[in-house]
A and B are shown apart, each in its own frame.
Chain A
Amino acid sequence: MGASVDTNTSYLLKLFVAGDSSRTGLAVANLRHICEDEFPGCYELVIIDVLRHPGIAEENKILAAPTLIKERPLPVRRIIGDLSDKEKVLTGIGLLPPQR
């Protein structure tokens, strides 16, 4: 995959999910797969259940789940929805240029 990612950069990703459903499991698995493919060994993935940590969700102004926030590298980007399409995810978090 020809993503223009800097492997020296440390990636910090926060995934906000709601509850422990199969949908949540799928979102987490999709994201891990993308991370392992794209940033092997240099990413940090934090998974936050908004039901168990409503305070953190509020601090981060989370409106829906799943929400993925890329905190590093800057700029901060967030996406909402389906994480199964790697290109769309990478585009969404600003690691690929938007396609039309």
Chain B
Amino acid sequence: MFQNIVENASDGILVVDLDGYVALSNPAVASLFQIPQEQLQGELFGFPISSGERTEIQVLRKDGSLLVTEMRVSDAYWEGELVFIALLRDISERKQMELALRQTQEELAALYHCAPLGIVALRADWHVKLCNPAAESILGWKADQITGSIFSDFVRPLQPDSFPAEDIVQRGATLMGKEVRHYRQDGTPVDVSISLAPVRDASGRADGIICVIEDISRRMRDMAQLRLSGKIFENTQEGILVTDAQGAILAVNQAFVVVTGYSEQEAIGCKPSMLKSGRHDLAFYADMWHTLRKNRQWSGEIWNRRKSGEVFPEWLNISAIDDDEGNILNYVAIFSDITKIKQNEERLRHLAHFDALTSLPNRFLFQNHVELALAQAVRNNRQFAIMFLDLDHFKAVNDSLGHRAGDLVLTGVAERLSACLRAGDTLSRFGGDEFNALLPDLDNKAAAVSVAKKFVEVLSHPFQIEGKEFHITTSIGIAIYPQDGLNLDQLTRAADAAMYQAKAQGRNAYQFYLADTASPTEK
């Protein structure tokens, strides 16, 4: 029977005599050693010893491999002799599993300690078992403060009533990335993303929970910043376009669409040259790019063309966006339509030189023209005339009909007088009912007389204002360069004096300056 048990045992059995020779073996041990059983018989194995109940030895197999084997040793009397029985069990698989398990444990421990994620192990009743350093730092509680306590007492957003806690434990559900705001022990807030997963025991029941916590404060701040930037981009009054380093348009804002007339879809992928007006030469653009590459920035006034074909002025600011290595990634162009500003500028320039009512040159521009005529006359040895016209009894028109009618008369006078002049002559209004004419480059006085007569003649016809007729006459004073004065001041005084003389003589007349005639102010 003993032999039978030995034969059929799954463990290897070696019976060794006092000298260490194999007295009996079984098939299991033969297969352990990869030696035929009959060959084992009488083989010198050695005297098996073990200090405790069992020990580990390494069996050298025939194929050269090693087999980790557990050996139990006992002694017995067999056929009257003291023998030793070695029971050998292959434990290499268990060993390998132990090794793999240890390695997994090492890896998990490294992960647990080094991960930037907070890891908290909870029992099924939500008491904290373990908490890694990252969790301590994110949650603002030390492991020894929270270990053994209910987790939601420290992490308020995990209160059972606001959280499907039961689902996780009872039904094995997981919770992925719930974003909540947590307040640390010191009161500082931190935005975290919390994930929970059940840990199951051998029977598949959840007997714990792993909680993974990610600090997402930075991401939340970045997102808020992005949202703000996006709002600014969309809502600013300035047109914005963003290109890649090669100049292809990547994005435009609503103001761009409004100003240029191109839709976002039309603009994206195109080059900003789609807006070229043709008003600037190549040198202008070369200079712009040179400045942009050198200073990473350019700003200035530029004329562009809308989709409608209309050319408009804009104030443009272009910035280059670099990466950390200084390579240009993008260009950002911000522009405002300055059409209105330009129009205002033009209006101001006009107001500075022209009479607002009649659009005739004002005193400033008239004097400017006189100075020019003077310089030409000196150079070419020619003469010229200036005439001062004062409308007779104009005050009566204003008083009886109001300023509106008066203005209409003044505009009408300006039109009729202008028609009498050559190109190159200047008619101006200084204000009130005074007009002034400059006749440069005259052959003789007679030419001036001819103009003065025309002035009188064109005003002799009545004006029709608001269904009524008005008769207007004028008194004209004429001064001739060089005989009546050699500079603006002298000529002005002379023309003025002559004009008063014409009035004194009964109005509706012209009068040349007479050297002995003093102006009324000088009387």
**Interface residues in chain A, defined as those with a beta carbon under 8 Å from any beta carbon in chain B:** 18-19, 23, 50-51, 54, 57, 61-69, 77-85, 88-89, 91-93, 98, 100
What's the Cα separation between A93 and B46 when bound, in Å?
A: 9
Minimum CB–CB distance for B27 against chain A, Å: 16
Which has the most chain B C-beta neighbours within 10 Å: A19, A62, A67, A83?
Answer: A67
Residue pair A78, B51 in contact (C-beta under 8 Å): no
Name 7 A/B residue pairs within 8 A (Cβ), A-sorted.
A57-B60, A63-B45, A78-B20, A78-B46, A79-B47, A80-B45, A98-B82
For A79, the closest partner residue in chain B by CB is B47
CB within 8 Å for A80 and B47 given contacts A63-B60, A64-B69, A65-B58: yes
Chain B contacts for A64, CB-based, 8 A: 45-46, 57-60, 69
Cβ of B19: which chain A residues have Cβ within 8 Å of it? 77
User: Shortest Cβ distance from A21 into chain B, in angstroms?
Assistant: 9
Contact call A92/B49, Cβ cutoff below 8 A: yes
User: In the complex the two chains form, is B44's CB within 8 Å of A61's CB?
Assistant: yes
Q: Which residues of B are found within 8 Å of A23, using beta-carbon distances?
A: 56
A98 CB contacts on chain B under 8 angstroms? 18, 82
**B33 & A81 in contact (Cβ 8 Å cutoff):** no
Any chain A CB within 8 A of the CB of B144? Answer: no
Known: A64-B57, A81-B57, A81-B71. A88 touches B51 (CB 8 A): yes
Assuming the contacts A78-B20, A81-B55, asked whether A92 and B47 have C-beta atoms less than 8 A apart, the reply is yes
- A65–B52 Cα distance when bound, in Å, is 17
Report how far A66 CA is from B48 CA in the complex, Å.
Answer: 10
Query: For the complex, is B43 an interface residue (Cβ under 8 Å from A)?
Result: yes
A59 to B117, CA, bound (A): 58
**Judging by beta carbons under 8 Å apart, are B51 and A85 in contact?**
yes
List of A residues within 8 angstroms of B86 by Cβ: 80
Partner of B47, one of A18, A51, A57, A77: A77
Contact partners of B48 in chain A: CB under 8 A: 79-81
Minimum distance in angstroms from A49 CB to a CB of chain B: 11
Contacting pair A18 B64 (CB below 8 A): no
B97 at the interface (CB under 8 A from A): no
Asked if B60 contacts A82 (CB within 8 A), the reply is no
- In the complex formed, the residue of A with least CB distance to B75 is A100
Q: CB-defined interface of B9-45 with A at 8 Å, one 1/0 digit per residue?
A: 0000000001110000000000001000000000111
A-B contacts besides A79-B48, A89-B49, 5 pairs, CB < 8 Å: A19-B66, A50-B60, A65-B57, A80-B57, A85-B51
A89 to B73, CA, bound (A): 14
B50 at the interface (CB under 8 A from A): yes
Instruction: Identify B49's interface contact among A51, A65, A69, A88, CB under 8 A.
Output: A88
Q: Which residues of A contact B46 (CB under 8 A)?
A: 63-64, 67-69, 78-80
For the complex, what is the distance from the CA of A62 to the CA of B59, rounded to whole Å?
A: 9
A61 to B21: give the CA distance in the assembly, Å. 12
Question: If the complex has contacts A18-B66, A54-B64, A98-B82, are A78 and B57 also in contact, measured as CB distance less than 8 A?
Answer: no
Which residues of B are at the interface with A, using a C-beta cutoff of 8 A? 18-20, 33, 43-52, 55-60, 64, 66, 69, 71, 73, 75, 82, 86
CA distance in complex: A57, B59 (Å): 12
Give the chain A neighbours of B66 by CB distance below 8 A: 18-19, 51, 65
Once the chains bind, are B44 and A82 in contact (CB under 8 Å)?
no
With the chains together, A63 CA to B57 CA distance in Å?
A: 10
| Cβ–Cβ < 8 Å partners of B82 in chain A | 98, 100
Which residue of chain B has its CB nearest to the CB of A61?
Answer: B44
B64 near A78: Cβ-Cβ < 8 Å = no
Q: Which residues of B contact A61 (CB under 8 A)?
A: 43-44
User: What A residues does B71 contact at CB under 8 A?
Assistant: 80-81
Residues of B within 8 A of A100 (CB): 75, 82
Given A50-B60, A64-B59, A98-B18, does the pair A78, B43 have CB atoms closer than 8 Å?
Answer: no
| Ranked 8 nearest A-B pairs via Cβ | A78-B46, A85-B51, A82-B55, A80-B46, A92-B47, A79-B47, A81-B49, A18-B58
A68 to B52, CA, bound (A): 18
Q: Given A65-B57, A67-B46, does the pair A82, B20 have CB atoms closer than 8 Å?
A: no
> Min CB distance, B137 to chain A, in Å?
37
Q: How far is the CB of A37 from chain B (nearest CB, A)?
A: 16
Q: Which residues of A have CB within 8 Å of B64?
A: 54
Complex Cα spacing A1 to B64, Å: 40
Distance A64 CA – B47 CA, assembled complex (angstroms): 12
- Contact of A80 with B58 at beta-carbon distance under 8 Å, contacts A61-B43, A100-B82 already known: no
Question: Is the CB–CB distance between A82 and B59 below 8 Å?
Answer: no
Q: Which of B56, B60, B64, B66 has the most CB of A within 10 A?
A: B60
Q: Which residues of A contact B55 (CB under 8 A)?
A: 81-82
Give the chain A neighbours of B60 by CB distance below 8 A.
Answer: 18, 50, 57, 62-65
CA gap between A51 and B51 in the complex, in Å: 25
Cα-based distance from A78 to B21 in the complex (angstroms): 10
Q: How far is the CA of A93 from the CA of B47 in the complex (A)?
A: 8
What residues of chain B lie closer than 8 Å to A79, measured between beta carbons? 20, 46-49
Given A62-B60, A64-B58; A78-B47 close (CB under 8 Å): yes
CA distance A69 to B55 in the complex (A): 19
Shortest distance between the CB of B77 and any CB in chain A (Å): 10
In the complex, how many angstroms separate the beta carbon of A8 from the nearest chain B beta carbon?
25
The minimal Cβ–Cβ distance linking A75 to chain B, given in whole angstroms, is: 8
Report how far A88 CA is from B46 CA in the complex, Å: 13
- Which chain B residues lie closer than 8 Å to A18 at the CB level? 58, 60, 66
Q: Are B44 and A78 in contact (CB under 8 A)?
A: yes
Write out the residue numbers on chain B whose beta carbons fall within 8 Å of the beta carbon of A62: 60
The answer to whether A66 touches B57 (Cβ under 8 A) is yes
Q: Is the CB of A82 within 8 A of B50?
A: yes
Which listed residue (A63, A67, A84) contacts B51, Cβ 8 A?
Answer: A84
Q: Which residues of B contact A80 (CB under 8 A)?
A: 45-49, 57, 71, 86
